[in-house]
Amino acid sequence: MNVYLAEFIGTAVLLLLGSGVVANVVLKDTKGENSGWIVITFGWAMAVFVAVYMVGPISGAHINPAVTLSMLLLKKITLPKALGYMLAQLLGAFTGSSLAWLAHKDHFKATQDSGLKRAVFCTDPAIRNTVSNFISEFIATFVLILGVLFLTGPEVGLGSIDALPVALLVFAIGLSLGGTTGYAINPARDLGPRIAHALLPIKDKASSDWGYAWIPILAPFLGSALAVFVFTLL
């Protein structure tokens, strides 16, 4: 399989399952309604596990532009290939979140809270403070990328054998660091679904909060760069 197609499929699966678990918890009249933060964090961790296990042997399962940036900085991939990966990830995230919306369409209609509808797609902070929110996303992504590098070594990406430890890492980040901003830790994971939220015909939806959108894009990239710097010192 083409590596770009693999990145597209892996990121689409990540967002289908990740956005899906959020929809199951926050939307009206699902069987998982109000099941809480533990379900969301565990669901996202399992989404990472499935996506990495599926496409790791093909593309290295970056499924995250911050991971791709770390491989670029370590000179494990070329700039054109990195850009191709990032585009595939963005399109995959858009597609996966759109499929999650389609699967929960009746529950979107039943839900009155427009903020909850947006939460299925993209992150927003529990307390809105630009500096604090940026720092939260920066730290969480730093931990993610440094953890991935220590768990797997500075290879081109992840293999299926890495799926469980990386999923547990994401689970730990969600439990310990995710409650402030929703732990995007992945620019494509936030931007692709935010675009989907803006374009899809969702009844009574809120704005897509573009004023906040730069934080889950820029902070993960900078957190990734610092993680690579620290890793290369060791």
CB atoms within 10 A of CB 201: 7
What is the C-alpha separation between 112 and 40, in angstroms, rounded? 21
Report the candidate in 194, 229, 58, 60 with the shortest Cα–Cα distance to residue 122.
Answer: 194
Concatenate the DSSP letters of all residues of 53-74 into one string.
HHHHHHH----SHHHHHHHHHT
The total number of structural domains in the chain stands at 1
Which whole number is the average pLDDT over 117-146? 98
Residue 17's identity, in one-letter code, is L
What is the C-alpha separation between 78 and 9, in angstroms, rounded? 21
Report the candidate in 90, 105, 44 with the shortest Cα–Cα distance to residue 196.
Answer: 90
Report the candidate in 61, 39, 59, 58 with the shortest Cα–Cα distance to residue 50.
Answer: 61
Q: Can you give the pLDDT at residue 160?
A: 72
Name the pLDDT band for 1 (thresholds 50, 70, 90).
low
pLDDT at residue 68 tops 80: yes
What is the C-alpha separation between 139 and 176, in angstroms, rounded? 11
Which whole number is the average pLDDT over 64-79? 96
CA angle at 179 for the pair 27 and 25, rounded to the nearest 5°: 15
Q: Can you give the pLDDT at residue 151?
A: 87
Domain coverage including residue 103: 3-233
Query: Per residue in 29-51, pLDDT tens?
Result: 999 999 999 999 999 999 999 99
| Burial of 32 per CB tally in 10 Å (0-12, 13-18, 19+) | middle
- Between 151 and 27, where is the model more confident? 27
Q: Can you give the pLDDT at residue 152?
A: 82
For the chain, give the number of residues. 234
Which whole number is the average pLDDT over 143-153? 91
CB atoms within 10 A of CB 93: 34
What is the C-alpha separation between 189 and 12, in angstroms, rounded? 9
Query: Per residue in 91-120, pLDDT tens?
Result: 999 999 999 999 999 999 999 999 999 999
CB atoms within 10 A of CB 127: 9
Q: Can you give the pLDDT at residue 110?
A: 97
CB atoms within 10 A of CB 46: 16
| Burial of 117 per CB tally in 10 Å (0-12, 13-18, 19+) | buried
pLDDT at residue 65 tops 70: yes
pLDDT at residue 126 tops 80: yes
Q: Are 62 and 7 in contact (CB under 8 A)?
A: yes
pLDDT at residue 153 tops 80: no
The whole model's pTM is what?
Answer: 0.96
- Give the CATH number for residue 207: 1.20.1080.10
Report the candidate in 148, 131, 163 with the shortest Cα–Cα distance to residue 54.
Answer: 163
DSSP state of 30: -
Query: Per residue in 195-220, pLDDT tens?
Result: 999 999 999 999 999 999 999 999 99
pLDDT at residue 224 tops 70: yes
Query: Per residue in 169-196, pLDDT tens?
Result: 999 999 999 999 999 999 999 999 999 9
